[in-house]
Structure 1
């Protein structure tokens, strides 16, 4: 399981590192704008602002407080002032668009990380909305397990393992999706969280007696 988690983490890191090479800055901005508009069409202004504020707090803790963002902006994400690859030698015209895009790499990387934080903040909003459901379903799972043990009914290790693996897969795939520069529907968050809640009930209700 640790090995699988490491593979998912590597996948996310690779997306962060290579997506800025393939995706234009305007695409990042368009993706974030699309998700903000989508959120605004479903939530009130205060809720949208709350998500943005939470995003900035997460980003600030991860990138600004640690000094990573200021360092990148100061030393790496600098505007291009010259099209020369050497004194008196201009970049070939056919390569100019690629050169400009390459120079936007670090700015795109920061945008990608901010977008990732925005999606985490958005999911946290839904977690708060669905807390009563999650609490109820955990309680139901616990009581179902107790009823099974009291009546000597079968608790399935197969269902337990399947639920556990699917929960981890959903969490990992969600993190990977958060890193992709593709607008996510606001329904993505409640569907994933609800699915994980149902699986959590199955997992708890099938914990083996020796566990």
Structure 2
């Protein structure tokens, strides 16, 4: 499977999950998840760093969704008490539709805010996992250079397998951002550790290109 096809797949899956999760997770469940994740983050990063993460998420959320008018547009779909009375007079089904609609869009708003918090958790981890991943890349290239210098065997099967595994692992943070259940912020370093092996194997077994 090629990178372009993988990228399209993950983009489509992300959009589907963003639209589907609010339909299966209530507003209260969404609030409980965020509250629990903030406590998990506090246990990992401490109070000061957690407050920074939450405040940054609120700021970006306010700019991207509130000031842009996105939330205002969603509120236009909200059923008021007057709408409920009219819907009840016309049909019980319409009243039920209003309840479902309010719950769906309310859950979507909460979900978007939760995604902002997770984005900043990932951002704060980059200072730690970034150098580690760079070291894995350097190690893979150094191993490759040693193999080339010694005319050692570079396993194309190992390269292909590692590349395919990496194509899946590299997009796991997308699932982290949209997951409807509480996820520990320790997911990010664990993901980096899991990704390290296929990165090193793929690079160390890459074939000579253009005389390299």
Q: Is the 8 A contact 1:27 1:181 kept in 2?
A: no
Counterpart position of 1:69: 70
Aligned residues: 207
Question: If the length of structure 1 is used for normalisation, what is the TM-score?
Answer: 0.83
* Cα distance, 1:147–1:62 mapped onto 2, change above 3 Å: farther
Once the 2 structures are TM-superposed, how far is the Cα of residue 144 of structure 1 from its aligned partner? Answer: 0.8
State the shift of 1:64 in Å.
5.1
> Counting helix residues as a fraction of each chain, which structure ranks higher?
2
Q: Which moved more, 1:53-62 or 1:136-145?
A: 53-62
Q: Distance in 2 between matches of 1:205 and 1:175?
A: 27
Structure 1: gaps of 5 or more residues: none
Alignment of 1:5-16 (within 5 A): 5-16=7-18
CA-atom RMSD in angstroms: 2.7
Q: How does 1:47-126 map to 2 (within 5 A)?
A: 47-56=49-58, 58-59=60-61, 62-63=64-65, 67=68, 69-76=70-77, 78=78, 80-82=80-82, 83-86=84-87, 88-89=89-90, 91=92, 96=96, 99-126=98-125
Partner of 2:177: 178
What is the Cα deviation at residue 51 of structure 1?
A: 2.1
Question: In the alignment, does 2:19 pair up with 1:20?
Answer: no
Matched with 2:191 is 192
TM-score by length of 2: 0.83
Residues 1:56 and 1:91: Cα distance change in structure 2 (over 3 Å): same
